[in-house]
Structure 1
């Protein structure tokens, strides 16, 4: 028996918008960190690690937003087909 969860399209759209916003903000933060220059090798390593983590999170957020977009598009196609 599979577990199923019913979620409204409006709720998915809200989540989609928030994930897209998160991906954009994360990408901007990673870019901003590239502009930071430090003389300490340890600090530079920490900044690089944080930047890499932000880039990874941005990539994950973009993947999630793509998946949500596909779900919303499929739902819209299904609704359009019923009309």
Structure 2
């Protein structure tokens, strides 16, 4: 049974690490999008490219934050005991 608990602890630690990375990704992509908003150009094509990249970064940031929220819910779920019937 101890091996099973060790495995569950390892899984929980791994999920917490993934969640931390998702939060970092969300923050970083928002910062990149804000930095790109400071770029000024009169070229309409360049403006379109910059806006497309900002939109993509914003979508990625939203996805990472949403995935992190789901991960938080999984990590905060109460433990359940499972009995195997064979």
Q: What residue number does 1:78 align with?
A: 79
In terms of Rg, which structure is larger?
Answer: 2
Q: Which runs of 5+ in 1 are unaligned?
A: 1-5
| Aligned residues: CA RMSD | 1.6
What are the equivalent positions in structure 2 for 1:5-24 lying under 5 Å apart? Answer: 8-24=11-27
Aligned residues: 72
Moved over 3 A (4+): none
What's the secondary structure of 2:39's corresponding residue?
A: coil
Give the match for residue 36 of structure 2. 33
If the length of structure 1 is used for normalisation, what is the TM-score?
A: 0.81
Give how far 1:78 is off. 2.3
2:64 aligned with 1:67: no
> Which deviations, in whole Å up to 9, do the C-alpha atoms of 1:19-39 show, x marking residues without a partner?
100000000000111111011
TM-score, reference length from structure 2: 0.78
Which runs of 5 or more residues in structure 2 are unaligned? Answer: 1-7, 81-86
